[in-house]
Amino acid sequence: MGKKAAAGIGIGLAGALVVPYLLVGGASSALDGLDLEGVACAMIDKSVGGGLGLSTEQRANASVIVSVGAQMGVPVRGQVVAVATAMQESGLRNIRHGDRDSLGLFQQRPSQGWGTAAQIMNPRYSSSKFYSRLLAVKGWQDMPVTNAAQAVQRSGFPDAYAKHEGKAVQVVASASEGGVQQINSTSGCTPMSIPASYNVAGYVSHALQQVGKPYVWGGTGPDGFDCSGLIVYAWRQMGYQLKVRTSQQMHNVSIPVPSGQERSGDLIFSEFRSDGPAHVLIVVRPGLAVEAPRTGLDVRVREYDAASEGLRFGRLPENQMTKISAQV
């Protein structure tokens, strides 16, 4: 559910590529053959060489950046911007030197109003100052990561932050309660901050079991659903209550996932407007989604094409879920 009544994905494709819809007679058939192993793993960038390669100091500093952002209510995308910035400016090291009077993780300058030298050398202080200025940038959430970072830093190398985005996403994705884990070179990845893979498989299964039920604006089941209500309901059946309700809220807190790297259980955002996406779907497997589309169309499974539909992908972090004692 978006903040406004969305026309739905079918209408959004008028005049564009017609994507075929696949109606599923039984939920189990849609799950047959799906590889759900490791769906709860953080995104892997193989160029990293099987591990993030962060030192103890770097992990500690990244942990501070992520935890300060979470405490300030900064969306996940903002945390990615902050980590990427610190990677470029200091290599995630709290250094006492830099260009002119630049100091610390973000190379902030006392002479430019960032605080005293002692304050800037405090990672929690410097992180909060970075976030405060980022949040003051109009439209930062719609900017590429490197542009958002540059709007705060005003660097002589404005495009330098871009190369750190992938690794920064991995750091934020693997953060759990403010702690940063590394990619495991043996298994491919460590569990990211989202419930275990069997829960993801179960959540997708519960969503698929709703196929054929009507779209109802504001509906969270069991008899009818809107687009985000289907997601809330499916997670609730697995014993998790989401802290977010609308498609815009889900987009704001989700960990970005590049197109082509989405996995079963990830979210698909579409119909973007000034206030964010008006529609959200669930990835069944890459290329196939389950959705509650719009009034007049029942819950269904359909194929999707990310490029032609302008879709974006995200993964809900565990800090947006509360374990409940019973399914309700």
Structural domains in the chain (count):
2
CB 145 within 8 A of CB 168: yes
pLDDT digits (tens, 9 = 90+) for 73-99: 888 888 889 999 999 999 999 998 877
Angle at 182 between CA 200 and CA 102, to 5 degrees: 125
Work out the burial of residue 66: count CB atoms within 10 Å of its CB; fewer than 13 is exposed, 13-18 middle, 19 or more buried.
Answer: buried
The 10s digit of each residue's pLDDT in 16-31 is: 222 333 333 333 333 3
Which residues on adjacent β-strands are paired with residue 291? 300
Residue with more model confidence, 187 or 116: 116
Q: Give the residue numbers spanning the domain of 205.
A: 9-40+194-323
- The pLDDT, as a whole number, for residue 2 is 53
Which has the higher per-residue pLDDT, 248 or 52? Answer: 248
Quick: pLDDT tens for 162-216.
888 878 877 776 664 434 443 333 333 333 343 444 467 778 888 988 989 999 9
Q: Is the dihedral of CA 133, 99, 65, 175 positive or negative?
A: positive
Domain boundary among 138, 157, 180: 180
Pairing mode, strands 255-257 and 300-303 = unpaired
Peptide bond into 222 cis (omega under 30): yes
The two three-digit tokens of residue 131, written as one number: 């976030």
In a domain, 187, yes or no: no
Same-domain pairing of 52 and 172 = yes
Same domain, 111 and 64: yes
Token pair 């690794």 is at which residue?
167
Q: Are 195 and 318 in contact (CB under 8 A)?
A: yes
Which of 128, 151, 180 terminates a domain? The answer is 180
pLDDT of residue 1: 56
312 and 215 share a domain?
Answer: yes
**Do residues 56 and 36 share a domain?**
no
Picking from 148, 180, 212, the residue at the C-terminal end of a domain is 180
- The pTM of this model reads 0.51
Q: Is residue 328 part of a domain?
A: no
Answer yes or no: is 235 within a domain. yes
Q: Cα(44)–Cα(57) distance, rounded to whole angstroms?
A: 22
In this prediction, what percent of the chain has a pLDDT beyond 70?
Answer: 74
Residues 169 and 67 in one domain: yes
- Cβ-proximal residues to 323 (8 Å cutoff; 6+ apart), any chain: 239, 240
Structure tokens at 306: 């990310």
**144 lies in the same domain as 198:** no
Same domain, 54 and 25: no
> Could you tell me the CATH number of the domain that includes residue 210?
3.90.1720.10
Q: In terms of domains, do 148 and 219 share one?
A: no
- Largest Cα separation within the chain, whole Å, is 67
H/E/C letters for each residue in the chain? CCCCCCCCHHHHCCCCCCCCEECCCCHHHHHCCCCCCCCCECCCCHHHCCCCCCCHHHHHHHHHHHHHHHHCCCCHHHHHHHHHHHHHHHCCCCCCCCCCCCECCCCECHHHCCCCHHHHCCHHHHHHHHHHHHHCCCCHHHCCHHHHHHHHHCCCCCCCCHHHHHHHHHHHHCEECCEECCCCCCCCCCECCCCCHHHHHHHHHHHHCCCCCCECCCCECCCCECHHHHHHHHHHHCCEEECCCCHHHHHHHCEEECCCCCCCCCEEEEEEECCEEEEEEEEEECCEEEECCECCECCEEEECCHHHHCCEEEECCHHHEEECCCCC
Residue 229 clears pLDDT 50, i.e. is over it: yes
Q: Residue 169: phi, psi to the nearest 5?
A: -60, -40
